[in-house]
Amino acid sequence: MTSALPHIVLVDDEAGILLGASLLLRRAGHDPVTTLQDSRDLLPFLTQHAVAMVVLDLHMPHLSGLQLLGEIKRLYPDLPVVILTAMQDVKMAVACMKEGAMDYLLKPIEKERLLALAEQTRQLYSLRRQVDALKGCLLNDRQPRQEAFAEIVTNSPKMRCIFQYMEAISTTREPVLICGETGAGKESIAAAMHLLSGRSGSFVAVNVAGLDDMVFSDTLFGHRKGAYTGADQNRDGQIAKAQGGTLFLDEIGDLSETSQVKLLRLLQEKKYFPLGSDIGKQADIYVVAATNRPLKERIVNGHFRADLYYRLAGHQIHLPPLRERREDIPLLVTHFLQEAARSVGKEPPTPTPELFALLSSYPFPGNIRELRAMVFDAVAQHRRGILSLRSFKEHIQINLPHPDATLPPHDSHNGLQLSWPNTGRPPTIKEAEEFLLQHALRTSKGNQGMAASLLGITRQALNQRLARRKKGHDNEEQLS
């Protein structure tokens, strides 16, 4: 698949200037760069390619820079044009800016200024593409590219909005930061970003949690023979394996402070040095990072660099936990049942509606990963017929909050807590039973079979308690 990145076009009749400027831009990671020595070739090129910036020499045979500027502004009014000129033509360059040029460069070309203009125009192009893509999604209700999201099982409106945003940012070179709880599916989102980017290289995932500085450097940058004791041959790092593709850095919030500095330098300079080598290598990689930690809090506490955060968070994706996309639970259960059955050579068992109701009441602190483990465990124990709820109930009972804990945040609007109010005395048996019945019924949204499971009693026993409770309430009303 070809890259969707826009070209930077250099137009000059001097071959030496074109060669030097194009090499400078490519070494800084600004490919694709196109050079044109004949000014008449520019307008046909613009009709067939996406372009982020045009650098025009002011004086050329056939069509001058001033003539081309007028045509570009007429046909492509938003395309940034930079005028290239000699010192004696500064007044003319300023006049060109009044006609719509973005800036001008003096010969010999100022390297830092050219690179700054290239970075600025790339970002501007990316922002315009994002706005156009989001407009298309919102105004036309356009469906996301299904092939990129084929591995993500969802029917959630929240996830669809995320997919649309991902498509909008897919042509940018800016890093993407994925935030979400453990087990929410961050790596699947990163893999989808790689597919959307259209990059031809590999998707390489690295979990950086717990890596000390030496291991981090060796893992990413690789080493040369003799770099340290035991380094008996050259070894490429993960950056080399991800050339032309995507490097996914998982658990970025756990990275040590020294390693943070090295990662920041990599992002800024797009260059790295293998251990034991003083020759830098170009890093043509798309960086996607993920964290389950609140990075802004870690910045305040001095555990994460603010400059690295803002480099990584060029675009941010906030992945909702499973409890905020409960409509996906039936889809995920069915998907995992089929996957688990294939892994053990069984026919997929049939789930019951009660299973979906039971799971919908559970907060899933481990998110999709926890649900997958629950389903695989149930399938491993399954023999025949309808899928049993027993293993699911046991898991939920073990992992539900303890009696002195509060309900999960998503149920906090009910105002019900599992801790007994501070009345100065322990509850009576009748009060405790009433309290537990209320909690179980609210948690299960009135599903009595599920409420009985949460309480560890049979459905018949729960019905008897509810009948006594109702009779007691009726007697109280009669007395009043």
Domains identified in the chain, total number: 4
Per the domain annotation, does 395 fall within a domain? no
Q: Mean pLDDT across the stretch 415-425?
A: 55
Residues 114 and 185 in one domain: no
Residue with tokens 């790295």: 272
Please give the full DSSP string across 18-70, using - where no structure is assigned.
HHHHHHHHHHTT---EEEESSGGGHHHHHHHS-EEEEEEESS-SSS-HHHHHH
The CATH number covering residue 348 comes to 1.10.8.60
Stronger pLDDT, 247 or 143, i.e. the higher one: 247
Task: Give the tens place of pLDDT for each residue, 167-192.
Answer: 888 877 789 999 999 999 999 999 99
pLDDT, position 407: 37
382, 337 contact by CB (below 8 A): no
Exposure string over 178-217, b if 16+ CB within 10 A, otherwise e? bbbbebbbbbbbbbbbbbbbebebebbbbebeebeeeebb
Q: Mean pLDDT across the stretch 215-229?
A: 92
- SS3 at position 322: helix
Q: Mean pLDDT across the stretch 147-172?
A: 88
Point out the domain boundary residue: 387, 417, 434: 387
Evaluate if residue 337 carries a pLDDT over 90. yes
Evaluate if residue 404 carries a pLDDT over 50. no
Q: How confident is the model at residue 465 (pLDDT cuts 50, 70, 90)?
A: confident
Handedness of CA 275, 244, 284, 57 (dihedral sign): positive
Task: Give the tens place of pLDDT for each residue, 102-143.
Answer: 988 888 888 889 998 998 888 888 778 777 766 666 656 555
pLDDT, position 418: 52
Task: Give the tens place of pLDDT for each residue, 194-221.
Answer: 999 888 899 999 999 888 999 999 999 9
Evaluate if residue 372 carries a pLDDT over 90. yes
Evaluate if residue 402 carries a pLDDT over 70. no
Tell me the whole-structure pTM to 2 decimals: 0.67
Point out the domain boundary residue: 343, 363, 387: 387
Residues 195 and 157 in one domain: yes
Query: What's the domain range around 347?
Result: 322-387
Question: Rounded to an integer, what distance in angstroms lies between the CA atom of residue 282 and that of residue 109?
Answer: 22
Task: Give the tens place of pLDDT for each residue, 19-63.
Answer: 999 999 988 778 889 999 999 999 999 999 989 999 999 888 888
